[in-house]
Structure formats: structure tokens, C-alpha cells
């Protein structure tokens, strides 16, 4: 009993020395706890976001990150750098040295020095233990968990993923933490031989992207977690000049980054399923479904969640494994019972030629409370798809028409239909007389806005593309 109590105390009140400032501070975690926590969340990040399948790009990013990390105050952490398969523009760090950048951020970085700037900045959040402090605050209940449930309260009890671990990534850092991470990033960069102006460079570019310009839903973008980038450009200037004084050997390696960015997927990756308006299509799994018009759709490898624009009305789509010989009714019964839901009424159905069981259920969802659900278990391609509308019981009658229409829209994709769905990709192009950002953006088939394309090419606001310049564009698949 006493031993357990002591252990608990040690956990709650560990006093550690901050590796960057040298000051003693209270944290909830020792370094080994920090690493263990990061490792556990790393598995969830990979499962939920997906790892981008480009081994050369992965090695390129990892080599740069590791070189920077070895020059930091905590070289012996188990550093790991991962490109996640997300269209959002973001980068983030977990305690223990687990760092992620999205494939979406890469084409917006001008050169390798800016990439090193982003990685150095995230390394700074880890070395200065900001990520641990965030975790400590979260667990301490000081920081509201509000940020976590922004989009996915409907995930539980149907999800295996802990939203808490993922939500932790997207709490806003304080301004002081941001400035310190910028300083540290610039220092690591310079020590590694990259131009430390990469830090203000990436801040300027990312600061020009509208917070809402993610263009798509899912994980939030960099601006929502790293505040005031443009104001920070001024604050890092002195550090950069000091680091650059008397040196002329820093590199930016623009060509090296260009080579890796060429061909990278822009926007949704059809291998994970893509959204076209309110329709969700999954070419490898060969199905499509229409969610209600104007709903926001968030896709992850584990599930698709759709949400009504201004109401707590959700739809959820997940794969459910198919026990040998089980009927649609059996699958629905065991799945819903497992989630704590009670069948009110239901029957077998055929949906666009697919066997299904459609029922009305009552249960509870974390973050929503009591809900009534219209849910289908649809057999397709050797598994079952669970498609469910979820809403407070009082609003069910009003929502049920939309739920049922969506469920009824689930249908297989033919091989030809699946093959016709190709991702947009980054390409290079030499500007001709008369080209405008709008005319160049058209080549993407609507995947990128003209203003976003201009920011991608570091064009001054309002300026036209310069004839003869080699620029990045987005081309439709």
C-alpha cells in the first residue's frame, strides 16, 4: 500500500530539469514516462492519420529531422519523423520526440531550409518540454478538452481511437512557447548548416494561408495551433542576423526539396477515400455514399464522420468485420450490443443489390448523451459497412429522412468508376505570357484556389505569375 502511494506521489510531483532553460520545473512526467506516452500516442496517430507511402520522401524528411535533433539539447531521445497522409497544412510534435508533418505542408515550403525550419521548430517544442507541459495541463484539467471533440463526439463508443491523445496535438501553444520554439529551431538549423532564415521564411508563407484555407475538413491546419506567425517573423529577426553574422556557407537546397515535392499528392488521396461535394467515394474498397448536402465530411482510415453544418447531427461510416456465416441481422445485433445500443425496430433490406440490416436504435454517445440512431449494416466485398445517423431523440423524426436517404445511397463502384478516380498532384510548370493564377489553378480541376496557388509559389499578394519562371502547380489526376 505504502509503495503504491509513493509511486503515485512520484508520478504526480516529479520535478525535472528543463533541458533547454536548465530550470527546475514540476511536471507530471519523467523522461521515460514522456517517451512511453509519446510512443503510445504515435501508434494512434499512425492509425488515425495514415503514413504517406513515399519511402524516398520519408527518408529525406527523416534524415533532415534526425540531423537537427542530434544537434539539440536532447540528442538521445528516440527521435522519429513521419510524413502523415493528410491534406491539411500542419506539423506537430508528441512528447518524447515523435514529430509529424503532413504531406499537405510540403509544397508550401520554398526550400529545404524552410522544411528544416518547420522540423526545428517542432523539435524545439519537444526539447523545451512544451509538449509535456501541454499534456500536464490537459490532464490537470486546466485546459478544457473542448478542442478535442470539435468534430468527432460521435466517434465513441464506436471508435477504438482515443480522441484525447489526438486532441492533445491540436491544443494551441502559448505565444511564449511559440517564440521559444522559433528561436530553438533557428539555432538547430544554423548548427546543421541550413540558412536559419528558413524559420521566418516558413512563418511568412504559412501566415499568408487563411486559417480556413485548409479547403478541407479533418485535422486542423498549422495556423490554428501555432498562433500569430507573421508577428513572430519580426521577433526572430535578431536571432537570425546574429546566427548569420560572418557566415556565408549556409545552404537552402531549393532543388533538393523541389525534387521530393514533385508528384506529391495534393488534396484527398483516393487510396484513403475521397470527398466530392457531399459524396464520399472509396476506390480501393469499391463503394460510394452520398451524405446530406452541405454537411462537413471528415475522413480518416478508421472512419468517416459527417456533421450537419449548424447542428449536433452526425453520420458515421465504418467497416465492421464479418464473422463466418453470420447474417446481416447477427452482425448488426452483436455490433450494436457491443456499443451499448438497444434495437427499437429493424428489418432486413436490400440496398442497391447489397444485403443489409437496417434498424432504429437507442443508446449513448460520449459528448452527445442520449441519441437515437438509424443505422444500417451493409454487406459488401467480404466485410460489413456500418452507416449510422446519430441525433438527440427529440430531433430524430426531423433527421431520419436525411439519414435514410444517405443509407439508401450506399452502392458499389464498378472497376471503371474506381479507376477513373485519380488524385491531384504537384507538378512543375514554366510560366508563359498571359498566364494568371486563376488560369493556372484551373489545371487542378478545382483542387486549389488561385490565391492558394499564389501563396504556394511565394508570390507577393496581388502579383501575377512571372513569365519564364518555373513554378509549382497542381494538376488534376
- The residues of the shown chain that bind Zn ion, judged by CB under 5 A, are 173, 181, 226
CB of 121 to Zn ion, least distance (A): 6
CB of 178 to Zn ion, least distance (A): 5
- Which CB, 181 or 240, lies closer to Zn ion? 181
Q: At what angle do helices 198-208 and 229-244 cross, to 10 degrees?
A: 160
CB of 379 to Zn ion, least distance (A): 46
- Which CB, 119 or 375, lies closer to Zn ion? 119
CB of 49 to Zn ion, least distance (A): 18
Q: Where are any strands of DSSP class E within 353-435?
A: 354-365, 369-380, 383-391, 411-412, 424-430
Distance between CA atoms of residues 307 and 316, nearest Å: 9
- Which CB, 173 or 386, lies closer to Zn ion? 173
- Which CB, 129 or 226, lies closer to Zn ion? 226
| Residue with the shortest CB distance to Zn ion | 226
Cα–Cα separations (whole angstroms), residue 61 to 10, 118, 253, 265, 458: 37, 11, 13, 16, 21
- Which CB, 99 or 390, lies closer to Zn ion? 99
CB of 339 to Zn ion, least distance (A): 37
- Which CB, 181 or 399, lies closer to Zn ion? 181
CB of 173 to Zn ion, least distance (A): 5
CB pairs under 8 A, 24+ apart, for 296-301? 296/151, 296/217, 297/217, 298/151, 298/152, 298/217, 298/218, 299/218, 299/268, 299/272, 299/273, 299/274, 299/275, 300/48, 300/49, 300/50, 300/218, 300/272, 301/47, 301/48, 301/49, 301/50, 301/272
- Which CB, 182 or 268, lies closer to Zn ion? 182
Distance between CA atoms of residues 34 and 37, nearest Å: 5
Nearest to 91 by CA among 128, 131, 63: 131
CB of 130 to Zn ion, least distance (A): 8
Distance between CA atoms of residues 228 and 182, nearest Å: 12
CB atoms within 10 A of CB 434: 9
Nearest to 371 by CA among 311, 318, 312, 295: 312
- Which CB, 226 or 307, lies closer to Zn ion? 226
Half-sphere CA count of 219, side-chain side, radius 13 A: 33
Give the CA radius of gyration of the chain.
24
- Which CB, 117 or 292, lies closer to Zn ion? 117
Distance between CA atoms of residues 153 and 203, nearest Å: 32
CB of 166 to Zn ion, least distance (A): 17
CB of 210 to Zn ion, least distance (A): 19
Amino acid at each position: 500500500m505504502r509503495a503504491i502511494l509513493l509511486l503515485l506521489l512520484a508520478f504526480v510531483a516529479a520535478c525535472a530539469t528543463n533541458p533547454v532553460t536548465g530550470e527546475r520545473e514540476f511536471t507530471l512526467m519523467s523522461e521515460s514516462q514522456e517517451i512511453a506516452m509519446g510512443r503510445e500516442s504515435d501508434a494512434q496517430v499512425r492509425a488515425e492519420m495514415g503514413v504517406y507511402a513515399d519511402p524516398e520522401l520519408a527518408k529525406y524528411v527523416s534524415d533532415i529531422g534526425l540531423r537537427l535533433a542530434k544537434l539539440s539539447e536532447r540528442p538521445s531521445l528516440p527521435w522519429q519523423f513521419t510524413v502523415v497522409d493528410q491534406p491539411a497544412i500542419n506539423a506537430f510534435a508528441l512528447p518524447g520526440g515523435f514529430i509529424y508533418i503532413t504531406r499537405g505542408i510540403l509544397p508550401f515550403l520554398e526550400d529545404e531550409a524552410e522544411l528544416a525550419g518547420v522540423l526545428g521548430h517542432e523539435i524545439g517544442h519537444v526539447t523545451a518540454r512544451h509538449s509535456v507541459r501541454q499534456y500536464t495541463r490537459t490532464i490537470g484539467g486546466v485546459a478544457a478538452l473542448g478542442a478535442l471533440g470539435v468534430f468527432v463526439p460521435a466517434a465513441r463508443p464506436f471508435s477504438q481511437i482515443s480522441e484525447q491523445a489526438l486532441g492533445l496535438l491540436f491544443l494551441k501553444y502559448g505565444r511564449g512557447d511559440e517564440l521559444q520554439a522559433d528561436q530553438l529551431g533557428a539555432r538547430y538549423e544554423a548548427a546543421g548548416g541550413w540558412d536559419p532564415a528558413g524559420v521566418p521564411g516558413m512563418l511568412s508563407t504559412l501566415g499568408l494561408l487563411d486559417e480556413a484555407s485548409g479547403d478541407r475538413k479533418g485535422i486542423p491546419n498549422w495556423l490554428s495551433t501555432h498562433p500569430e506567425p507573421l508577428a513572430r517573423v519580426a521577433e526572430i529577426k535578431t536571432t537570425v542576423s546574429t546566427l548569420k553574422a560572418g557566415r556565408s556557407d549556409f545552404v537552402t537546397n531549393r532543388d533538393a526539396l523541389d525534387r521530393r515535392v514533385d508528384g506529391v499528392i495534393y488534396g484527398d488521396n483516393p487510396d484513403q477515400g475521397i470527398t466530392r461535394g457531399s459524396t464520399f467515394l472509396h476506390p480501393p474498397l469499391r463503394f460510394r455514399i452520398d451524405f446530406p448536402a452541405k454537411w462537413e465530411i471528415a475522413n480518416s482510415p478508421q472512419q468517416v464522420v459527417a456533421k450537419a453544418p449548424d447542428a449536433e447531427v452526425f453520420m458515421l461510416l465504418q467497416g465492421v468485420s464479418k464473422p463466418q456465416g453470420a447474417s446481416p441481422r447477427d452482425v448488426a445485433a452483436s455490433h450494436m450490443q457491443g456499443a451499448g445500443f438497444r434495437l427499437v425496430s429493424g428489418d432486413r433490406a436490400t440496398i442497391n443489390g447489397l444485403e443489409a440490416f437496417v434498424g432504429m436504435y437507442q443508446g449513448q454517445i460520449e459528448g452527445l448523451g442520449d441519441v437515437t440512431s438509424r443505422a444500417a449494416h451493409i454487406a459488401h466485398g467480404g466485410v460489413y459497412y456500418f452507416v449510422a445517423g446519430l441525433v438527440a431523440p427529440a430531433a430524430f423524426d426531423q433527421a431520419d429522412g436525411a439519414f435514410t436517404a444517405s443509407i439508401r445511397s450506399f452502392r458499389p463502384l464498378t472497376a471503371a468508376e474506381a479507376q477513373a478516380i485519380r488524385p491531384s498532384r504537384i507538378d512543375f510548370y514554366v510560366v508563359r505570357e498571359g498566364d494568371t493564377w486563376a488560369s493556372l489553378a484551373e489545371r487542378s480541376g478545382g483542387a486549389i484556389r488561385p490565391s492558394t496557388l499564389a501563396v504556394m509559389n511565394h508570390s507577393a499578394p496581388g502579383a501575377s505569375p512571372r513569365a519564364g519562371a518555373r513554378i509549382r502547380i497542381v494538376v488534376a489526376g
